[in-house]
Amino acid sequence: MKRAFWLIFIIILTVTFVGCAQNQKADDKKIPPATEASDNLSPTPGETETRIITDIYGRQVEIPAQVESIASIGGAARILTYAGCAHKLIGVTEMDKSNVAAMPYSVVNAEHFQTIATVGTGGSKDTVFHEELITLSPDVIFALTDIDTINDVQEKTGIPVVAIYPTDMFDESLYTSLTIIGDVMGTQERCQQVVDFIKACRDDLYNRTKDIPDAEKPTVYTGAVSFRGARGFEGTYGAYPPFDAIGAVNVVDETGQTGGIIIDLEKVVAWDPDIIFLNPANMNLVNDHYKTNRSFYESLTAVREGRVFSQISYNYNWTNIEIAIADTYYAGKIIFPDAFADIDPIAKADEIFEVMLGQPFYRHLEEAGYTFGPITIGE
């Protein structure tokens, strides 16, 4: 009897054990492997997440969600300085490292720029160092150059390239370029502050002279303007932005030409402008010409009556927007003294530099010989 009982008990235990084992195997099939579970997790923020931005050329560029390191080619480092992002640069051009007053951003960033990589030559014959960029591997490359170069750099390095291209001190392209940088770098507030300041300067300059009839305005000429190199007195500018911003009557505009041009000096004699502005950086060329062409200069009323003034060059490796705006206020002070009676050009310049460069800068210009003031030709 007892033997039969234990036999039945053993059979029941065996059936139960087999059934549990089969159920466990069935349950195991419902649990995905650990690798499958991790594949379904969202990417860690800052590691693989990306987003799409639109650059100045309308290109759709995929960039990291969080940009921590950047490099710049062409003239981009200047605009990144305005945007308050220069400290994020880990690569710039040789030109950016020049540390010369004619490029204020190169001076205010001189210490930082000397410690980081060189990724191109910069300047008018810019050469990009692709291998250096690949080795450096910044999150994003900012570029202020032509579209073909931008596409070539992105293709060869595999690094996202974001294009900016400000064309003038009060042009929408400047505001758009700053907005793009703010979106990429997460510095929208800083960039908007700079945009608002520049627009406020634009409106202030326009409002000071908008009601002055052209017939009551003196005629003006700007010479020794640098474009594609240094120029003498004959180097001038049609639709000169600082003059346009204050509604000045630029005698050169009669030609219908815009941008940097070489003018026939006989035209200047015929125009005989009331006020002349010259670039102090090129006065060596003007003074050399004066030695053999004294009669030309003495035929100009502005020269004879001491109405020749400086206009600091603002084009050096693209446009120094801050100098251009400061030049405009100084030109306004000279051409329309009543409308600009409350303006101290040097104090105004440093206010502009403080906002755009993060520090006053006029003393650096002064030390380099670039100042606001009267000019005596021949000295």
**Quick one: 279 and 355 in the same domain?**
yes
Say what the pLDDT of residue 4 is: 42
**Domain match, 167 and 114 both:** yes
pLDDT digits (tens, 9 = 90+) for 334-349: 999 999 999 999 999 9
CB 286 within 8 A of CB 231: no
Q: How many domains does the chain have?
A: 2
Using only the alpha carbons of the chain, give its radius of gyration: 32
pLDDT in tens, 172-204: 999 999 999 999 999 999 999 999 999 999 999
Q: How much is the pLDDT for 21? A: 40
pLDDT at 125 (0 to 100):
82
Q: Are residues 273 and 346 in the same domain?
A: yes
Residue 379 belongs to some domain of the structure: no
Question: 112 and 250: one domain?
Answer: no
At a CB cut-off of 8 Å and minimum separation 6, what does 375 contact? 278, 280, 283, 308, 309, 310
Residue 2 placed within a domain: no
pLDDT for position 229 = 83
**Residue 230 domain flag:** yes
Choose one of 138, 172, 198: the last residue of a domain. Answer: 198
> What per-residue confidence (pLDDT) applies to 188?
97
* 201: amino acid identity, one letter: C
**Domain boundary at 198, 226, 244, which?**
198
pLDDT tens, per residue, the chain with 379 residues: 434 444 434 433 343 433 444 443 333 333 222 222 223 334 444 456 999 999 999 999 999 999 999 999 999 999 999 999 999 999 999 999 999 999 999 999 999 999 999 999 998 788 999 999 999 999 999 999 999 999 999 999 999 999 999 998 999 999 999 999 999 999 999 999 999 999 999 999 999 999 999 999 999 999 999 888 899 999 999 999 999 999 999 999 999 999 999 999 999 999 999 999 999 999 999 999 999 999 999 999 999 999 999 999 999 988 999 999 999 999 999 999 999 999 999 999 999 999 999 999 999 999 999 999 999 999 8
Residues 182 and 288 in one domain: no
In terms of domains, do 233 and 112 share one?
no
Q: Is residue 283 part of a domain?
A: yes
Residues 349 and 245 in one domain: yes
DSSP string, 176-214: HHHHHHHHHHT-HHHHHHHHHHHHHHHHHHHHHHTTS-G
Q: Please report whether residue 296 resides in a domain.
A: yes
- How far is it, in rounded angstroms, from Cα 225 to Cα 18? 96
Q: Do 232 and 178 sit in the same domain of this protein? A: no
| Residues 149, 190 within the same domain | yes
- 61 is in which domain, residue-wise? 50-198
Considering 167, 198, 229, which residue would you say is the last residue of a domain? 198
| Shared-domain flag, residues 164 and 102 | yes
146 domain-assigned: yes
Query: Does residue 232 share a domain with residue 170?
Result: no
Let me know if residue 16 belongs to a domain: no
192 plus 338 within the same structural domain? no
143 DSSP β-pair partners: 73, 163
Residue 4 included in any domain:
no
Q: Is 74 left (phi over 0), alpha (psi -120 to 50) or beta?
A: left
Using CB atoms within 10 Å of the CB of residue 83, give its burial: 0 to 12 exposed, 13 to 18 middle, 19+ buried: buried
Q: What is the CATH number of the domain that holds 216?
A: 3.40.50.1980
Q: What percent of the chain has pLDDT over 90?
A: 83
